[in-house]
Amino acid sequence: MIPINQLGNSGLYVSQLGLGCMSLGTEEKKATEIVKKALDLGINYFDTADLYDFGENEEIVGKALKGQRDKVILATKVGNSWTPGKEGWEWDPSKEHILSAVKDSLHRLNTDYIDLYQLHGGTIEDPTEETIEAFEELKKGGYIREYAISSIRPNVIKRFVENSSIVSVMMQYNMLDTRPEEWLDYLHNNNISVIARGPLAKGLLTERGIEKLQEKFNGKSYLDYSNEELADLLPKLTQLSVEKPLQSSAFHYCLTHPAVATVIPGASSLEQLEANVSAIYEKGLGQDEYKAYKELLKQSIYETHRE
């Protein structure tokens, strides 16, 4: 079985490897196969959002999990709204929107409750007090079990940690994006878990990473790393991970800190899913291995949105 971790101090226990559902696509048969296979392979945490494919992702995930609802931790997100016929999304963390949007998500997911309801972003100008009020009301009413935020902005994280009962913070976190590391001790000390999205850095931290850099990045950079730096770094990371696939080291790099409860790579094929599951079963990083990776990587921080 894939190891299970408690999310914060809540009653939610999630597999160390979850499934980020954004990349499932809209071909229902194929997406359903991936979700069902993930369940068969021991994944119990599924993460979607109301804005993925304008709600269609929630519908597909809901149908795929039919009859298995009691076996999974189902997470979705709120805070973005769209108006039919109007281009783009509008940020809306208001209480009114959250209390309305949850009903739509519940309907699309074909469920009576959401295990983890996450604010999909956040700014310091938000009416945070009423946002928290909305989540607390939904929790009290049994519509959600717990709530959380998906944000890397320092001032947003601090505000929710200090004023709410969030159980987790979702952040992009991987070897090439170490910005969350300044928050790991702080969150852990406050009994709040981290959900690491993007742990494979768009496929760069896989066995095909160098190939992806050449074919898909087309000279582009990735955060603090120029294309040239990546071309130099990726072979070194692969060499360090000689006894296991690089994606295994990438997953376990994130999971080394006890604040991180789960990593949630996406999967657009059964092959990707099976490779991810195989990678999570590999042995975690020892202290010396972790240190060796750290010596190769840049330590970054989120420069803006700081009080």
Strand partners, 78: 119
DSSP track, 13-52? EEESB-EEGGGG-S-HHHHHHHHHHHHHTT--EEE--TTG
Tokens of 122: 């956040």
- Calculate what percentage of the chain has a pLDDT beyond 90: 84
pLDDT tens per residue, range 9-36: 999 999 999 999 999 999 999 999 999 9
Which helix (H) or strand (E) segment holds residue 281: the answer is: none
Mean pLDDT of 278-290: 96
pTM: 0.96
Furthest CA-CA distance within the chain: 55
Q: What is the torsion angle, in degrees rounded to the nearest 10, for the CA atoms of residue 126, residue 128, residue 134 and residue 140?
A: 160
Show which residues are catalytic. Answer: 52
Q: Is 3.20.20.100 the CATH number for 4-203+248-285?
A: yes
Residue 227, pLDDT score: 94
* Distance from C-alpha of 171 to C-alpha of 196, rounded to nearest angstrom: 5
Residue 150 · residue 121 · CB < 8 Å: yes
pLDDT tens per residue, range 31-79: 999 999 999 999 999 999 988 877 789 999 999 999 999 999 999 999 8
What mean pLDDT, rounded, does the chain reach?
94
* Distance from C-alpha of 22 to C-alpha of 19, rounded to nearest angstrom: 9
